[in-house]
């Protein structure tokens, strides 16, 4: 499937081994919605038709869980080498059809479509700009990269994620504050805490 040109693409990373969790955390429910599906629903709502998913461990199961929400699925055969290889696989697959790429982590369950839109609004079409989420005293994903940074993203390796590019291009980085992005899922207790938080917010 060819992605529309002149587009912002959501690159959702779902390739990790989740060694601290003890199972594939992305398929576990947070409330009534699997963790992976939460990320994809936000991405699809913001960038319908422009969602690229990178898989690795349990690739077939993850791809099945993403049915109808990911427009392109890329399997990273080198996922065990680290997150950098997954970014490389995804960026190389979609850069030709993109003016900006939003790098997202599938284990951040509180990301919203409104926040993704806010990143795009702050970017404003400038190819040299980077727009990161600001939370917990740092800048990180989801982060939008204009096309001037695609080469750097395509040259990452091992466990060096996009944080290295934020640090190397500090003068180009602007931020959008979004404290819920500080919450990610690494362990079953993390999952239980987020599920409890969501349950309380719905009462």
Domain boundaries, the chain: 8-201
**Per-residue pLDDT averaged across 46-70, rounded?**
92
Q: Would the pLDDT of 5 be above 50?
A: no
Which range has the worst mean pLDDT, 28-37, 69-78, 111-120, 167-176? Answer: 28-37
d(CA 203, CA 102): 32
Looking at CATH, the fold of the domain delimited by 8-201 is given as: Spore Coat Polysaccharide Biosynthesis Protein SpsA; Chain A (3.90.550)
Which range has the worst mean pLDDT, 80-89, 98-107, 154-163, 187-196? Answer: 187-196
Report the percentage of the chain scoring pLDDT > 70: 93
How many helices (H) and strands (E) the chain has is answered by 7, 9
Per residue in 127-148, pLDDT (tens digit) is 999 999 999 999 999 999 999 9
Confirm if 98 and 9 have CB atoms less than 8 A apart: yes
Question: Residue 136: phi, psi to the nearest 5?
Answer: 50, 35
Per residue in 59-115, pLDDT (tens digit) is 899 999 898 899 999 999 999 999 999 999 999 999 998 999 999 999 999 999 999
Total number of residues shown for the chain: 203
């Amino acid at each position: 499937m060819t992605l529309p040109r002149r587009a912002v693409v959501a690159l959702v990373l779902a390739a990790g081994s989740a060694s601290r969790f003890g199972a594939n955390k992305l398929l576990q429910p947070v409330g009534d919605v699997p963790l992976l599906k939460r990320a994809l629903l936000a991405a699809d709502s913001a960038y319908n038709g422009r969602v690229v998913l990178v898989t690795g461990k349990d690739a077939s199961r993850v791809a099945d869980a993403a049915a109808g929400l990911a427009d392109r699925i890329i399997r990273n055969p080198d996922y065990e080498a680290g997150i950098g290889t997954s970014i490389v696989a995804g960026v190389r697959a979609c850069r030709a059809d993109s003016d900006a790429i939003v790098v997202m982590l599938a284990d951040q369950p509180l990301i919203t479509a409104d926040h993704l839109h806010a990143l795009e609004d702050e970017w404003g079409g400038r190819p040299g700009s980077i727009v990161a989420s600001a939370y917990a005293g740092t800048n990180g994903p989801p982060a939008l990269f204009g096309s001037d940074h695609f080469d750097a993203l395509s040259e990452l390796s091992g466990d060096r994620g996009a944080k290295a590019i934020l640090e190397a291009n500090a003068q180009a980085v602007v931020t959008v504050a979004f404290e819920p992005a500080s919450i990610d899922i690494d362990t079953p207790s993390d999952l239980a805490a987020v599920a409890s938080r969501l349950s309380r917010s719905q009462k």
